[in-house]
Chain A
Amino acid sequence: MDATAVAKSAPANIGARPQPLGEPKIIARDVNVHYGEKHALKNVTLDVPEKAVMAFIGPSGCGKSTFLRCINRMNDTVASAKVSGLIQIDDQNIYDPSLDVVQLRARVGMVFQKPNPFPKSIYENVAYGPRIHGLARNKAELDEIVESSLKKASLWNEVKDRLNDTGTGLSGGQQQRLCIARAIAVSPEIILMDEPCSALDPIATARVEELIEEIRRNYTIVIVTHSMQQAARVSQRVAFFHLGILVETGETEKIFTSPNDKRTQDYITGRFG
């Protein structure tokens, strides 16, 4: 091959922009949430891309967790909460009265700020969901789901010899990965994470972030985080909320190098007055 020709025709992808993200998995249109008198979320319109990580950032009380909880209808459990507007997952309105909320929550898993394993064995923590949803026909299948979920959550090697030990006996980081394994076990399409690393040390945080990086190829992930660095590290898109308003949404690189809105810039650079 002619060496100069090779040198001159650089591959087309060098210096190219990152691939645009896929189709939206979740679309929200004019979503409003009231907690009694309080107007917590105002006219939020947003697309969440499929098989990617979207980070919600913003100061405490900005509505990001409220919006996250709309996606699996967790706000249904709050008596004073009133949700209006449209939220669709794959073109299906999740607030359709005929929709089975239990099925919805099987499709939309959730991981919380504080690891909250059931006070049961490691095995049972993961097996519980598949069992109640009838995802396994026999013990062998259930064993397989438990093993593959723990592997996906990068926990298998650490717990395979003590599956009958109690889940609450694990370290904080391991507990959080157990919770992620538990969420994965029911084969959800979407995983919501509400500050999943805020109670973890940097090593455990790095393990969870590595895990997020691995599983994002197969799941749509929405993460609420107070750590700007974490949002910058794990997400492909960022949405910035402030005082119940969605201020700005964009590609992560863009948000962290040159955001459009001054409020976004003030928040991420630590200038909020």
Chain B
Amino acid sequence: MSLADNHIVSSFDDDLNQLADKLAEMGGLCEKLVGESVDALVRRDIPLARRVIEWDRAIDRLQHEIEERGIMTIARRAPVAIDLRQVVGALRIANDLERIGDLAKNIAKRVVALDGQFQPPKLAGGVAHIADLTLAQLKEVLDAYTRRDDKRALEVWTHDGEIDALYNSLFRELLTYMMEDPRNIGFCAHLLFCAKNIERIGDHATNVAETVYYVVHGVPLTEDRPKADLVSADFD
């Protein structure tokens, strides 16, 4: 699938390409923040956590900018067909990335809040594992977007079940730790929220995958995605 490079009005190409560039920048920043927020958690690195909190503002700014550019492009160019899908896709993905940034920031805030609390080091290992998987999904879906690669997007979409399954087992594991020793409860509760945040990041990655599919094909992905998040199935 070709990117915007052959409009008769070349400034239209520029508009669409700049939109895609901004989104790539935002995606890269999101990856970085998610990775660093988990690093901060695992290593109990308070300064790093504070940096993540600070950097989330840059993601918000980028989302704002993408939204303005998208609206401007709609107003000025009246895009249709693939062009319209590119613009709408960029707006949607920017929303998902902004949420991902918020979730990373929330993890970082918990790291700051945990400062000085009792922290058995091995407990964060499970969270790091689910984070690795999620980060790989995020990287993959951002690549799929850059290349407009619907097959890779579809793969991300179908693999989200693994993150859900991991979250379920982590939930049970953390429950066990809490029952073992009540002094673990505070820390484990925070860890549980962090794990949930990461699981939500995975959900946003699948949203992005759906958008990539829509941009490429012009129809929504309609099959039901295999869902394995049993723990909160009743609350969603």
Contacts and interface: CB of A to CB of B under 8 A. Distances in A.
Contact of B7 (A228, A256, A271): A271
Main secondary structure of the interface of A (DSSP, over half): helix
A258 B12 contact: no
Contacts of A211: none
Interface residues of A, number: 16
Given A269-B7, A271-B6, A273-B6, A259 B81 contact: yes
Interface residues of B, number: 16
B7 A258 contact: no
Contacts of B78: 228-229
Contacts of B217: 258
Contacts of B7: 269-271
A270 B219 contact: no
A232 to B, nearest CB: 7
Nearest to B78: A229
A268 B6 contact: no
A257 B82 CA distance: 7
A256 B8 contact: no
Contact of B81 (A229, A257, A272, A273): A257
Given A257-B85, A258-B85, A258-B217, A272 B8 contact: yes
B12 A270 contact: yes
B42 interface: no
A232 B79 CA distance: 12
A253 to B, nearest CB: 10
12 contacts: A229-B78, A256-B80, A256-B81, A257-B80, A257-B81, A257-B218, A264-B81, A265-B81, A268-B80, A269-B82, A271-B6, A271-B7
Interface of A: 228-229, 232, 255-259, 264-265, 268-273
